[in-house]
Amino acid sequence: MKKQKFGRIIMTTSAAGIYGNFGQANYSAAKLGLLGLANTLAIEGNKYNVYCNTIAPLAGSRLTEDIMPPDLLASLKPEYVAPLVLWLCHEQCQENGGLFEVSAGWIGKLRWERTRGQIVRQKNKPMVPEAVRDQWDKICDFTDPTKPKSIQDSMALMVNVLSDVESEVKANPTAAEGSILGIDPAQAVGQKLPSSSFTFTHTQCILYALGVGMSTKDPDHLRFLYEGHPEFSCLPTFGVIPSQSTIMEGGLSSIPGLNIDPTQILHGEQYLEIYRPLPTSGILTSETTIADLLDKGSGALILLDVNTYSDGELVAYNQFSVFVVGAGGFRGKRTSEKAKAAVPPPKRAPDAVVTDSTTRDQAALYRLSGDWNPLHIDPSFAAMGGFKAPILHGLASYGFAARHVLKQFANNDPSRFKAMKARFVKPVIPGQSLQTEMWKEGNRIHIQCKVKETGDVVLAGAYVDLHNTSEASPENLNQGGALRSDLVFTEIGRRMKDAGSELVKKVNAVFGWEITKDGKNAAQWTIDLKNGGGSLNKGPYSGKVDVTFTVSDEDFMEVVQGKLNPQKAFFSGKLKVRGNIMLSQKLEVILKDYAKL
């Protein structure tokens, strides 16, 4: 198998090995031993394309024919187990290290779960059984479990535990006890802040554009600075402004389980996603939720999810990552699957570099968009914070970098902007120059922003995702109708605008489609029902696709209209699948309910 770079191994365990069974100690031990062997083979064989999975079948056999009733025996035929084995052995199947129970035509995958656990010792103090007893409920609480997949995942927790034990003394000895009493993730996470409304006119749009460095010196900027321009538009990153008012107005202090000092709050990271071009005037309503609360030892990290609506329609989503200095040590988790991750840039020279000067009044101008923190205007207040002068708002640098990408890669078209993520690293003094380095990889533009004069990195792990110019919309479709499937995807896109968020909750996957015509690739579509409010993309996709389907335009239409059974299409070779084939079961939600012709 190693020589041919291909192999598939199937181990057969038993429910007795997984769960144990009375009177079968030796049998159970042997069967669970097979699972341990299979897990190790999966790890060792992975780099050679040799995958190993384990099944725990319940099937009728000569051993059970005298024990089971005839009708039950008939429903447990080996034929109801074999298709799973065949798929796991198929070259297209990428499953490795999986454990599956299978019987009577039903298949289920098993995984490990582990409680968040509880630290029951303190540094330089003995660990006693009474501490275990007192924390037993938390030790056994599966409310928010982790799902370790490897020994590395298991060991990573131990490293964090050691760090947390140390941080009780090192991080903030005087504040540790107060932090434990003041922060309770069980109470805070999921809580909603009071909703906020933001009323604005074109004046606020123009003020924001000036605040992030736009100028009439550049003719391309006029569409963002002059309300009489035929293409007058709002900069996409203006989407952070309506959402920030909830935080600025002190809404966090009203949340139970979140007793923090507002003077110790730092803005750590920002993610923004735009679902349709922002209006240039009107009323925007924002709903804010505490998405998660992390213990970083020296402080607490609060993830805030903010959905912003215009006339009831979702137009923008923000995730604020807010760090509270000295609020750590409450023995919470350190990472979250809900966090929008920063991404390092490629290890090569940037594809483009843009340098832009800020003015001495840049912060004074940007604060008119609603961030009135005196740190950005009052020298004495800045000095108390340890700065030699008032500093520029992090979100102002964020806006500078975003418009650099729009100009360089999107012809200043705000409708091309999809999303942006950045981590704030070091401050900028108004008057310094911002240098944005950009790397293009598909529709994602990786960026790193620096202070030119010092070389200090201002924005790190940052990127901007752009829509394709040909991205799905009825207006952009080829009116010649060369592909009938275009009509289906257009309908899917239209329905997703209304029900995308609900579909994301139901499906949680990214589907790729390769449509062929006359044996050649004719179109590429991606249905993203995992991120944000969902999206439909035409053309190459820069993100990760969970499963990809290849099918001809004609056969695709036959499947959608119910004339061709998808399973028959798959086994006849008309429908080819790469990736997690099990996700194909969720296609009915997309094709049947949301794109019926």
**C-alpha distances out from residue 367 to 217, 250, 284, 363, 374, Å:** 22, 17, 19, 6, 9
Residue 175 neighbours by CB under 8 Å, 6+ apart: 326, 327, 329
| Cα–Cα nearest to 181, from 255, 260, 116 | 260
Sign of CA dihedral 113, 118, 123, 127: negative
DSSP single-letter state for residue 441? E
Number of Cβ within 10 Å of residue 541's Cβ equals 21
Residues 6+ apart with CB under 8 A from 252: 193, 258, 260, 262, 265, 302, 322
Cα-based distances in Å from 321 to 20, 198, 295, 341? 45, 21, 13, 11
Could you give the 3-state DSSP secondary structure of residue 200?
A: strand
Q: Across-strand partners of 109?
A: 100
Catalytic residue among 27, 48, 51, 226: 27
Catalytic status, residue 463: no
In angstroms, what is the C-alpha Rg of the chain?
Answer: 28
Contact 373, 366 (CB under 8 A): no
**511 to 177, 394, 516: CA distances (angstroms):** 48, 35, 16
What totals of helices (H) and strands (E) does the chain contain, helices first?
19, 19
Catalytic positions are 27
